[in-house]
């Protein structure tokens, strides 16, 4: 069924009796050309691009719970492409371009809102670093704009410009950045993939891989064995656990990241703001809640909840740049599990096992990458070679010294 304004009006006049489920609920077939493990944003996007761009139709997405129930349902919904390094920026810019055409491509309202992302500048050194970053973005075809203090004051008059420790000196803006309705991304990709014949199999947990003579033949699941020509794993937050079933150790630690939302307010915050002197980012959802977050808690965790010291730190950061946030009451807070890689950048690659492919290690930047991650992983699965924007995201970069370390922190995952 194609969604349109006309369809909404027709259904409104006929009692909304014509809507059908957005995707089927099939039982698994004995064998597929490609099986994707993980029905989150990245897995469903992979299925969509496999079917729509690479002509693969015998595809299944296997999800142990319900689709969109992991990190695509738990993030702070920000999209941007303001990276510095050559291994990253073309990929994230590709992703932002896919976001711009996403709703037409999927025929689904994902509420893509290019309201702008602004990184605040608090010192002369930081101004130099951000202008350099802006130049790197422009060189890679993205947009970036340096704003002096007067321009930031005009756009965000309520910020704490004269803070004694971290006065605001300016900002680096990316106007094409913004926010997206995160759940709708999973649902939109699922519906689009399903309409092209992809089987989305929920409540089906992968319990192991069937590997013979170094070749992956399929997956053992709670619904029995499913044969596959190629298997792609996209299970953010569970990457190490899943790949251990194939005997692999990954360059990944799993950490918990907390996020917060306040009660609904009238529009007060036009775009996305990030604090340059601490780790804090905030935007206002279309429902009116201020959605914000900060650092990961910093220790290995598979619990989808964090501890109070980081809550305090995040709220202090919010008060430091935007004192009016103290007047809003916190409505909800939650945690998600981030697969933190050793250099802060992700992996989209084949493994040493033939027919087994891996997509993960997105740290806490996976949401904005969803379209390009799906596209590049689909390319890898269909063609057995990396997509040109994701060519640097390889397992062997830790062997060869080609780390993509935006923050220059080394192999200390909790610092990325």
Partner 1 sequence: MIINHPLLGPRDSAEFVYLGTADLMNRPDPDTATPEDWHDYAYLRDNPAGTHRELWFHDGGDRSILIVTRDTITHEISAVELALKTRAEA
Residue 249 Cβ vs partner 1, minimum distance, rounded to whole Å? 4
Cα 342 from Cα 354, distance rounded (Å): 24
Interface stretch with partner 1, choices 117-125, 154-162, 300-308, 320-328 (CB under 8 A): 300-308
8 Å CB contact between 232 and 242: no
State the first-to-last Cα distance of the chain, in angstroms, to the nearest integer: 43
* Among 75, 301, 345, 370, interactor with partner 1 by CB under 8 A: 301
Told to check if 251 binds partner 1 by CB under 8 A, we report: yes
8 Å CB contact between 243 and 250: yes
Residue 250 Cβ vs partner 1, minimum distance, rounded to whole Å? 7
CA 67 to chain centre: 15
CB-based burial of residue 112 (10 Å sphere; 0-12 exposed, 13-18 middle, 19+ buried)?
Answer: middle
Told to check if 315 binds partner 1 by CB under 8 A, we report: no
* Among 253, 295, 349, 406, interactor with partner 1 by CB under 8 A: 253
Size of the site for partner 1 (CB under 8 A): 24
Told to check if 19 binds partner 1 by CB under 8 A, we report: no
Residue 360 Cβ vs partner 1, minimum distance, rounded to whole Å? 11
8 Å CB contact between 23 and 191: yes
Told to check if 252 binds partner 1 by CB under 8 A, we report: yes
Cα 344 from Cα 334, distance rounded (Å): 22
* Among 151, 160, 202, 411, interactor with partner 1 by CB under 8 A: 411
Cα 77 from Cα 59, distance rounded (Å): 28
Strand partners, 289: 264
Residue 29 Cβ vs partner 1, minimum distance, rounded to whole Å? 30
Quick note: the x/- pattern for partner 1 over 225-244, rule CB under 8 A, is ---------------xx--x
Told to check if 398 binds partner 1 by CB under 8 A, we report: yes
Residue 345, number of CB atoms within 10 A of its CB: 23
Residues engaged in binding partner 1 (CB under 8 A): 240-241, 244, 249-254, 298-303, 307, 309, 342, 398-399, 411-414
């Amino acid at each position: 069924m194609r969604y349109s304004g006309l369809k909404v009006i027709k259904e409104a006049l006929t009692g909304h009796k014509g809507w059908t489920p957005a995707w089927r609920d099939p039982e698994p077939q004995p064998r597929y050309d490609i099986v994707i493990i993980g029905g989150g944003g990245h897995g469903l996007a992979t299925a969509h691009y496999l079917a729509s761009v690479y002509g693969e139709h015998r595809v299944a997405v296997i999800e142990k719970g319900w689709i969109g129930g992991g990190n695509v349902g738990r993030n702070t919904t920000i999209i941007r492409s303001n990276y510095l390094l050559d291994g990253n920026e073309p990929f994230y810019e590709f992703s932002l371009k896919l976001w711009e055409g996403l709703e037409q491509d999927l025929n689904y309202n994902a509420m893509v809102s290019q309201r702008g992302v602004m990184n605040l500048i608090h010192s002369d050194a930081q101004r130099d670093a951000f202008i350099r970053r802006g130049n790197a973005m422009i060189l890679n075809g993205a947009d970036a704009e340096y704003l002096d203090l007067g321009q930031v004051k005009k756009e965000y008059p309520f910020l704490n410009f004269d803070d004694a420790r971290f006065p605001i000196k300016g900002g680096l803006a990316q106007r094409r950045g913004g926010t997206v309705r995160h759940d709708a991304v999973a649902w939109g990709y699922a519906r689009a993939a399903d309409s092209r014949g992809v089987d989305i199999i929920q409540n089906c947990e992968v319990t192991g891989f069937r590997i013979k003579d170094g070749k992956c033949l399929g997956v053992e699941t709670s619904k029995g064995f499913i044969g596959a020509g190629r298997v792609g794993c996209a299970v953010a937050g569970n990457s190490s656990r899943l790949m251990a079933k194939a005997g692999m150790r990954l360059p990944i630690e799993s950490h918990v990241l907390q996020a917060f939302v306040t009660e609904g307010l009238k529009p007060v915050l036009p775009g996305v703001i990030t604090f340059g002197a601490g780790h804090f980012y905030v935007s206002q959802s279309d429902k009116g809640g201020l959605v914000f977050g900060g650092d990961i808690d910093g220790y290995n965790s598979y619990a989808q909840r964090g501890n109070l010291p980081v809550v305090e730190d995040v709220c202090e950061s919010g008060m430091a740049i935007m004192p009016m946030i103290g007047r809003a009451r916190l409505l909800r807070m939650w945690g998600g599990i981030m697969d933190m890689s050793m250099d802060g950048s992700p992996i989209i690659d084949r493994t040493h096992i033939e027919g087994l492919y891996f997509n993960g290690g997105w740290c806490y930047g996976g949401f904005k990458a969803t379209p390009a991650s799906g596209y590049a992983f689909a390319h890898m699965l269909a063609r057995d070679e990396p997509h040109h924007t994701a060519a640097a995201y390889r397992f062997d970069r830790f062997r060869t010294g080609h780390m993509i370390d935006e923050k220059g922190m080394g192999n200390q995952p909790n610092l990325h």
